[in-house]
Amino acid sequence: MRKILLVVLLALVATSCVELISEAGKAASEQINNQPVSTSAHNYEKVSLDSVFHVDLPIYMKPMNQLNSDAVLQYGNIYKETYFVVIQEDKNEYVELFKEFGDYNDELPVIENYKNAQKNMFTESLTNPIFQDYGLSSINDKPARQIKIFGKVDDIEVVYIIAFVEGEKDIFMLMNWTVNDKLDKYENSFEYINGTFKLINK
């Protein structure tokens, strides 16, 4: 009886050890998978839009065409759930339109007004959005702002890292996003992408 009990106990211990090793392996794998992706230049490729701008994007991102109908550039990876688009708007048209609507503050820079307008747009389109400003003022010597937005789309928790860049004639919105639980992995990469955005003769 004692021998049988001992065998049973040893079996339980063995099973527990296997489970512990298995769980440890899973935890290690998850930790590796959640490590921030590299921001080394060789992991990125320069993508240009005509003679307007260029930006460095991760080599795992590929061109897409259904992310945003207003975008002039769309890249992403559906398996990694990472996406990037650039929206380009005529600066004078924006200023005139929002002044007409009474939603423009002449005491603020154009880029600050544009950032605030876009934050209002996201407030309408996301559920329970939370905004965080980076305090960034320029990207490659152009007036710029950058924000992080947490929110829900169709009950899916998402996070955006968005930069706004002002050129002489146009304003650009650089929009990166992923699901919330992948932010730690891709946040540095998104910030790196925004920092490489450069206007060409603008």
Instruction: Give pLDDT, residue 11.
Output: 43
One-letter identity of residue 13: V
Residue that has been written with the tokens 């947490």 in this structure: 150
- Does the structure show a pLDDT above 60 at 107? yes
C-alpha distances (whole Å) from 190 to each of 16, 35, 36, 184 are: 41, 14, 11, 11
Confidence band of 202 (pLDDT split at 50, 70, 90): low
pLDDT in tens, 176-194: 999 999 999 999 999 999 9
For the residues 112-118, what does the mean pLDDT come to?
A: 95
pLDDT in tens, 9-40: 344 344 444 444 445 455 444 444 667 877 78
Quick one: tokens of 75? Answer: 């890249």
Instruction: Give pLDDT, residue 19.
Output: 44
Q: Give which of 145, 81, 86, 78 is closest to 116, Cα–Cα.
A: 145
